[in-house]
C-alpha cells in the first residue's frame, strides 16, 4: 500500500482514473471465441487515446476468474500509457473452469475501495467493471447480499460499478448484485457482440473519466451488443 500511496502523491493535481476490469473465463465463455480478448485489446487502445486527449492519468488492472483468479499479463495498477494492446496474449483468458463470481467480485471491489480511500483525493475516480456470461455456482445467498451492500456503498464513494452479462437479463441480474440499471449491459454470447460490448464499455468509461459525472449506456451501445 505504501508504494501505491507514493504513486498517488506523484500525480497531485491531475485527474486520476483507476480501472479494475474483472473478466469471466469459465468454460461457458467458449461460445464467444476470442471476442473478449480482441475487445480488451481495443479497450486498451481506446483508453490510451482518451488519456492522451484529455490529460487524464489512467491506471488499469485486469483480472480473469473461473474457480481461480489471475492477473492478466501482469496488468496490475499499470499506467495505461505504458501498455500496448499487442502486449496482451490469450493465455490468461482461455475458458476453462467453474464460476467463482461473487467472492471474486467482493475481493476485487474491496481492493479498489481501499486504494481510493487511501488516496484521500477528490481527483480520483474508481471504476469497477465485471463481465460474465452466467451466474455464480460457488457462493451462497449470504455472499450475494454482501456484494449488493458493497456495490451500493461504493457508488457513494466515487466508484462507478459496471456489470456486463450474457445469457441473462443483465439489468435484472445486475440489480440483484447491487448494480444500477444504467450501468448494466446485456450482451449476446457471440464473438461479434462480445467485441461490441467491450466497445460500449470503453465508451461508457471514457464519458465517466472525462466528465467526472455519472454515465449510462446509450441505446445504440445496448442494441449493438445484443442480438436475438
Residue in this structure with the C-alpha cell 463481465, named with its chain if needed: 131
Asked if 96 contacts 64 with a C-beta cutoff of 8 angstroms, the reply is no
Domain ranges of the chain: 2-224
What is the residue-level pLDDT of the chain in tens, covering all 228 positions? 444 555 555 565 678 999 999 999 998 899 998 999 999 999 999 999 999 999 999 999 999 999 999 999 889 999 999 998 777 888 888 889 899 999 999 999 999 999 888 776 778 899 999 999 988 878 878 999 999 999 999 988 889 999 999 999 999 999 999 999 999 999 999 999 999 999 999 999 999 998 877 889 999 999 999 997
d(CA 179, CA 101): 14
CATH of segment(s) 2-224: 3.40.50.410
Cα–Cα separations (whole angstroms), residue 177 to 22, 135, 143, 180, 211: 15, 11, 10, 9, 26
Amino acid at each position: 500500500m505504501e508504494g501505491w500511496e507514493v504513486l498517488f502523491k506523484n500525480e497531485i493535481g491531475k485527474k486520476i482514473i483507476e480501472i479494475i476490469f474483472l473478466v469471466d473465463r469459465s468454460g461457458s465463455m467458449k461460445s464467444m471465441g476470442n471476442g473478449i480478448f480482441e475487445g480488451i485489446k481495443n479497450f486498451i487502445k481506446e483508453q490510451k487515446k482518451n488519456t492522451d486527449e484529455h490529460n487524464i492519468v489512467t491506471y488499469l488492472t485486469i483480472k480473469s476468474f473461473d474457480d481461480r483468479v489471475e492477473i492478466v499479463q501482469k496488468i496490475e495498477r499499470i499506467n495505461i500509457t505504458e501498455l500496448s494492446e499487442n502486449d496482451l496474449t490469450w493465455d490468461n483468458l482461455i475458458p476453462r473452469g467453474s464460476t467463482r463470481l461473487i467472492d471474486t467480485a467482493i475481493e476485487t471491489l474491496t481492493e479498489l475501495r481501499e486504494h481510493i480511500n487511501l488516496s484521500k483525493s477528490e481527483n480520483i475516480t474508481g471504476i469497477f467493471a465485471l463481465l460474465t456470461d452466467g451466474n455464480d455456482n460457488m457462493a451462497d445467498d449470504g455472499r450475494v447480499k454482501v456484494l449488493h451492500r458493497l456495490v451500493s456503498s461504493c457508488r457513494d464513494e466515487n466508484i462507478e460499478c459496471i456489470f456486463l452479462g450474457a445469457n441473462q437479463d443483465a439489468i435484472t441480474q445486475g440489480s440483484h448484485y447491487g448494480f444500477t440499471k444504467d450501468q448494466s449491459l446485456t450482451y449476446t454470447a457471440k464473438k461479434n457482440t462480445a467485441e461490441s460490448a467491450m466497445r460500449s464499455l470503453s465508451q461508457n468509461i471514457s464519458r465517466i473519466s472525462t466528465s467526472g459525472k455519472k454515465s449510462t449506456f446509450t441505446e445504440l451501445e445496448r442494441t449493438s451488443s445484443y442480438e436475438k
